[in-house]
Amino acid sequence: MTPYEIRRGDPGQRQQVEAWLFGLDLVSEAVRERMVTGWISAWISSSHARLEDIPYALAAPGYQLARHVNEVTRTGIALARSAMEEWRDEFDFDVLVPILAMHDVDKPLMYVRDGEKVASSRLSQELPHGVVGAMLLKDLGFPHLVVSTVATHAANAPFHGRSLEAYVLHYADFFATDRTCMREGATPFYQRHWR
Ligand SMILES: [Fe+2]
Ligand SMILES: [Fe+2]
């Protein structure tokens, strides 16, 4: 059984993703289409009926993945703009924006919903978070930097990419994640020191 199918969805579903996903106006038409199809594919292949039903983490089931994704994209764009101004770094938004906006595209498939209850999926024990998203992005034709950065972005990945894009994603993701941890009463990553 394949864990997901690439699907374009119906116009209503595409409209919902377009209305929600931040960053679509920062990329070319071809990239925009691929980003929307990527989220539609993960959503339709999942057990979640509505986009807003998809949780960000089991530890915070009430916190929507949809919110986290936009927080990370907006923060990442702000960080990239700061790096461009401070250090004259350069970013291709057709690469950076999909890295930010698609980094957690496999999360709908990592959790299964049964009514009000959410649990880890069987797939999440077969392939790690990030890797499934990278497979999906590869299927959609995204470039290697997008695929490899998403594959290795998770906190427990064996290593993280060395590109500026991987660095921006890391801080944007953890900036947003840590704020959610604080709100939910969990220890944020920046305070989890080795002892
Ligand atoms: Fe992630
Ligand atoms: Fe994330």
**Residue 41 forms part of a structural domain:** yes
Split into its structural domains, the chain has a count of 1
Q: How far is CA 112 from CA 49, 60, 82, 121, 122, in A?
A: 11, 14, 38, 5, 9
Taking the CA of 69 as reference, the closest ligand is: 2
**Residue 1 forms part of a structural domain:** no
Q: Is the dihedral of CA 44, 96, 20, 62 positive or negative?
A: positive
**Residue 195 forms part of a structural domain:** no
| CB burial string 33-58: b at 16+ within 10 A, e below | ebbbbbbbbbbbbbebeebebbbbbe
**Residue 193 forms part of a structural domain:** no
- pTM recorded for the entire structure: 0.96
Q: How far is the CA of 129 from the centre of ligand 1 (A)?
A: 7
**Residue 53 forms part of a structural domain:** yes
Strand partners, 55: 64
Q: How far is the CA of 175 from the centre of ligand 2 (A)?
A: 10
Q: How far is the CA of 12 from the centre of ligand 1 (A)?
A: 27
Residues 143, 95: contact at Cβ < 8 Å?
yes
Q: What is the pLDDT of residues 136-172, one digit of tens each?
A: 999 999 999 999 999 999 999 999 999 999 999 999 9
* Residue indicated by tokens 């986290």: 68
**Residue 194 forms part of a structural domain:** no
- Does 41 have pLDDT greater than 60? yes
CA distance 98 to 47: 24
CATH number of the domain encompassing residue 20: 1.10.3210
Confidence of residue 195 (pLDDT cuts 50, 70, 90): low
Question: The domain containing residue 169 runs over which residues?
Answer: 11-184
CA distance 42 to 136: 8
